């Protein structure tokens, strides 16, 4: 008599991690709850995807702004990225956990004498790497009409050379601002590393993801 033995197949859970310090801090946190990926510790590796076969997990590193895209389209089930990127990219993902590291603030900065321009709703120019965050803050929260200038490099340069009256940028310690005679004029929002999940994955892999979140919360 032939017995057909059903083999339970567990699919891989795929993680997209923002490159750099964020990824390193995330892997350190994962190790605390028993999730390791030895392949990722090899600094000379040219691999793009790293696997933990035992736990059926896959990891890959991506540029921060791309992480929500991978997660929205289901190329990754779970992503770890800064709150600034989530706000700026506006992707359809579930933000499920504040991981508590990578803390900083999104701020409006400029010379001290630019402060009155923010109080009297004057038409001003705002330079930033984060045009969507800046628009939302000035248009929807402050109800102030501004001209947004998108830059990619050193944002602090904009008010110094007269390109803009103020900037919207991430402030960690504020030392770069102070060195250039600039200061924080208004705080837009607090930032930190967040975990995001694809909406379909949240339903299909609900138990595994909820179990992961439960373990992570004990370490935060």
CATH number of the CATH domain containing 168: 3.40.190.10
User: How many domains does the chain divide into?
Assistant: 2
Q: Is 6 inside any structural domain? A: no
Do 55 and 134 have their domain in common?
Answer: no
**165 shares its domain with 203:** no
Assess whether 63 and 94 both reside in one domain. yes
pLDDT at position 9? 64
CA distances from 179 to 1, 36, 156, 176, 184 (A): 82, 41, 10, 5, 13
Q: What is the pLDDT of residue 1?
A: 44
Whether 65 maps to a domain, the answer reads yes
Residues 113 and 164 in one domain: yes
Find the domain containing 158 and state its range.
104-189
Strands 78-82 and 104-110: unpaired
Residues 75 and 110 grouped into a single domain: no
Structure tokens at 76: 């990754």
What is the helix (H) or strand (E) element at residue 44, kind and residue range? none
What residues in the chain have per-residue pLDDT under 70?
1-9
In a domain, 5, yes or no: no
Cα distance between residue 53 and residue 41, in whole Å:
16
39 within 8 A of 50, measured Cβ to Cβ: yes
182 and 108 inside one domain: yes
CB neighbour class for 23 (10 Å; exposed up to 12, middle 13-18, buried from 19):
buried
| Distance separating alpha carbons of residues 61 and 188, to the nearest angstrom | 28
The model carries a pTM of: 0.89
């Amino acid at each position: 008599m032939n017995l057909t033995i059903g083999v339970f197949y567990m699919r891989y859970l795929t993680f997209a991690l923002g490159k750099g310090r964020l990824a390193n801090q995330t892997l350190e946190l994962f190790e605390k709850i028993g999730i390791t990926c030895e392949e990722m510790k090899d600094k000379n590796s040219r691999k793009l995807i790293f696997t933990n076969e035992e736990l059926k997990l896959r990891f890959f590193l991506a540029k921060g702004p791309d992480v929500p895209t991978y997660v929205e389209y289901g190329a990754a089930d779970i992503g770890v990225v800064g709150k600034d990127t989530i706000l700026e990219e506006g992707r359809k993902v579930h933000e499920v956990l504040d991981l508590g590291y990578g803390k900083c603030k999104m701020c409006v900065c400029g010379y001290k004498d630019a402060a009155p321009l923010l109080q009297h709703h004057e038409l001003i120019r705002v330079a930033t790497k984060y045009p969507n965050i800046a628009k939302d803050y000035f248009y929807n929260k402050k109800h102030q009409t501004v001209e947004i200038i998108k830059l990619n490099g050193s944002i602090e340069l904009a008010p110094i050379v007269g390109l803009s009256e103020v900037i919207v940028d991430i402030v960690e310690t504020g030392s770069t601002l102070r060195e250039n005679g600039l200061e924080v004029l208004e705080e837009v929002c607090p930032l930190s590393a967040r975990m995001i999940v694809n909406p379909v994955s949240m339903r299909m892999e609900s138990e595994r993801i909820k179990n992961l979140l439960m373990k992570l919360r004990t370490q935060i």
